[in-house]
Amino acid sequence: MLMRDIPLYTLSEVDRLVGVMPGTASRWLRRSRTDGVSFEELIEVLIVSVFRKQGLSYRDIRSINSECEKTFRISCPFTSWVFRTCGEQILMEIKREFPWKNTLESTFVRLDYDEGRVSAWWPLGRSAGIRIAPEWGFGRPVIARRGIRTDILQERREAGDSIADIAGDYGLTPAEVETALHFETYYMKGVTDSRH
């Protein structure tokens, strides 16, 4: 079994990471609250969220997913390189008008691929330096430059350590630590911020 297929997240963590309403991952994946979610399924929920923001129903999205499975002959097609490169044609056949370039393309540029499947996600964009990949930190968000989990930095801050001390201890810049703390506060802990 590959790391991308191992359950690493809870359904509520997936909802928070992707930034969707509670219950979205459960509804798409048709899972109960106790089931774990793999990295590949996390990315699938990310792509589904893009479709939902454009007004597509779950029924339409399932239809697109099913057609892609048949055409590409793979499971979880939304997480594949072939969907990124050829999925627009199938989508246009099912849903005549869809702003692919302005929606999905902006999501695809935050994904890394390896052997035809998504291997990493840069949730805040590559320049922020936070990466989520099943092989790094057991799928937890990390500062990519050093592989340090963002939750560890948050724990240190909550224990009273200064940003400068944390940065020095891990060979990070203060800006990297601040980005990690922001990520942990607003994405992992589910705190609402008017900027999001």
Q: What is the pTM of this model?
A: 0.89
Is residue 45 domain-resident?
no
Is residue 188 domain-resident?
yes
Is residue 146 domain-resident?
yes
Is residue 20 domain-resident?
no
State the average pLDDT over residues 29-54: 89
- Domain of residue 159, CATH code: 1.10.10.10
Is residue 189 domain-resident?
yes
Pick the range with the lowest mean pLDDT from 30-39, 61-70, 175-184: 30-39
pLDDT level of residue 4 (50, 70, 90 thresholds): confident
Q: How many domains does the chain have?
A: 1
Cα separation values, 170 from 83, 131, 139, 151, 167, Å? 38, 17, 19, 13, 5
Show the domain range for 144: 122-196
User: Tens digits of per-residue pLDDT, 87-120?
Assistant: 888 888 776 677 777 788 899 999 999 999 999 9
Is residue 178 domain-resident?
yes
Cα separation values, 139 from 4, 10, 61, Å? 9, 12, 26
